[in-house]
Homo-oligomer: A and B are copies of this chain.
């Protein structure tokens, strides 16, 4: 059995806030102490805010490409400039002004993960963490230092994907377990080697937590109990190099 709970009472997060303390306090308010094998799924947005990955749009000087694209689609040129800066490669600049790009981390997503909604205030953009696996590991260390058992941490974000409408929550980073559960060499019930060889456990955790993260409610963290965690690893190492991608 798996249980998921979104603790109430996590306040708006600002640069420099002790996110581990805020989350541990909120969980304690629900009577939850983090124990071995529990998982905490935390949205990228609060992690980025706590880490100071916020940019005043007033401080951004857009370049020619950003100005041109913004004018063409009625966008804020400073926001477009941030998206281009965060991108290692633009996959597509789509009608309507949406930019699909590969971020410096290797994530393919809309607007390089630069977020204006739910940002702390008007005129501020929230960028993805510089190293989401390191963010997860740091948060995990801080929670363990506060008395948590050896838990798993996932830093999640909400991404679109090819071929299907609707966005899903995926793992940008993780700590305390392997993001991929490897079934290679495991026989199925009839003794045949399994056709499904590797499950993206970190992504499934992010998606499960996403069920509680109603977009109008500002839910920054979800506690998960009852998932079998194995191994260790980083999300970064599970991103496919473009040349290795079978799907295109």
Contacts and interface: CB of A to CB of B under 8 A. Distances in A.
Contact of A227 (B183, B187, B211): B211
A207 interface: yes
A130 to B, nearest CB: 20
A5 B187 CA distance: 24
Nearest to A6: B1
Contacts of A205: 211
Please state the number of chain copies in the assembly. 2
Given A188-B118, A192-B118, A167 B200 contact: yes
A21 interface: no
Interface in A184-208: 186-190, 192-201, 203-205, 207-208
A210 B215 contact: no
A210 B204 contact: yes
B168 A196 contact: no
Given A94-B246, A193-B117, A208-B207, A228 B214 contact: yes
13 contacts: A1-B5, A98-B246, A106-B163, A108-B163, A117-B193, A122-B190, A166-B179, A166-B238, A167-B199, A189-B217, A203-B207, A205-B211, A248-B248
